[in-house]
Amino acid sequence: MTWSKYGEFLIFAVVLILIPGPDFAVVTKNTIAGGRRRGRWTALGVATSNLVQGTAAACGLGALILRAQPVFTAIKWAGVVYLAYLGAQAIRSAIRGQYEPVGGDRPAAGGRAFTGWRQGFLSNITNPKVLVFYLAVLPQFLGPGVAIGWLLTLAWSHAVLGLAYLFVLTAGIHGARDLLLRRKVRRSLDATTGAVLIGFSARLATEHA
């Protein structure tokens, strides 16, 4: 492993992170609903999941999960159900169109902070494609017999870059929150976010390991 290879990985990771996925949709939904703090807690949940899966892959646990087909399938279908559940919540909110008046940034204390973190963590930890990424892509940047330290460095670098991107996303959404909280705009965003999450759920359900 060389520093030039590490730089190539960072560039690849940034490009991959910029492609919107379920994490993008969940962080967007929570930032609009609960403000910047809740959005950040959601981003932290995603990053925590990335650290867990990246560490598991580096330590060889990820390969065991992939080989244990019933476990891998259970994780996949948990992800399908959870994304569909979040999407249905957003669509139900759009249909009802009943939103609490919000001023400034809602505090993210107590249950709301944990809810944001939990949704970010669960939406990511139940996405088997994240584990496959760590197992299939990371070795492409490493030579044979590489130390586990480099595996962890690549995995954790991806998690940190993803967290930084989601923090920037949260700040941008929060900056436009006055516009996004208008009832018509909010209903449209909830409907769109819900449809996107259900779409990710359906795509995950139809993919083969």
14 token code pair: 């940034």
- In total, the chain counts a number of residues equal to 209
62 token code pair: 């990820």
pLDDT bracket for residue 27 (50, 70, 90) = very high
Q: Is the confidence at residue 102, as pLDDT, over 70?
A: no
Predicted pLDDT at 47: 96
97 token code pair: 């169109």
pTM of the model: 0.80
Q: Is the confidence at residue 205, as pLDDT, over 90?
A: no
Burial of 176 (0-12, 13-18, 19+ CB in 10 A): exposed
The per-residue pLDDT for range 143-175, each reduced to its tens digit, is 666 677 888 888 899 999 999 999 999 999 888
Predicted pLDDT at 108: 46
Highest mean pLDDT among 57-61, 112-116, 133-137, 146-150: 112-116
Q: For residue 42, how many other CB atoms are within 10 A of its CB?
A: 31
Predicted pLDDT at 109: 47
Beta carbons of 42 and 49 less than 8 angstroms apart = no
Residue 132: alpha-carbon gap to chain centroid:
15
**Cβ within 8 Å of residue 160, ≥6 positions away:** 47
The per-residue pLDDT for range 43-91, each reduced to its tens digit, is 999 999 999 998 888 887 766 666 767 877 887 888 889 889 888 988 9
The per-residue pLDDT for range 165-201, each reduced to its tens digit, is 999 999 998 888 777 777 788 788 888 888 988 988 8
Core vs surface per residue 127-161: b (16+ CB within 10 A) or e: bbbbbbbbbebbeebbeeeeeeebbbbbbbebbeb
